[in-house]
Amino acid sequence: YEKGFFPLLTRHDGEFLTYDDNPHTFEGAAPRQGRVILLKFPSEGHARRWYADPDYQALSDHRRAATNLEFITMARSLPARS
C-alpha cells in the first residue's frame, strides 16, 4: 500500500505532513486509538479528486482489508480575512 500511496498523493498535489501511532487526547469521551495521519492538499477539489481517483480506490482495497479504519475526514482551512 505504502509503495503505491505516495505517487498517487503527489499526482494530486497532496503532501504528507505527519503520522502518530500514539496520539494524545486532551479532552473528549472517545479518544483516538491507533495511527493518525495528516495530509495536506492545495484545495478541497484536489483532496476530493485524490480520494475519488480509481487508482487510489483500487489501492485502498489493500488498506481496507488490513486495517480497522474509523474515519477519513477533511478539515477545510479558514476563509481569507478581509
The three three-digit cell numbers of residue 23, written as one number = 496520539
pLDDT given for residue 57 in this prediction: 95
Q: Give the chain's mean pLDDT.
A: 89
Q: What is the pLDDT of residue 3?
A: 86
In the predicted model, is pLDDT for residue 32 greater than 80? no
In the block, cell 492538499 appears at: 41
Contact (CB, 8 A) for 11 and 33? no
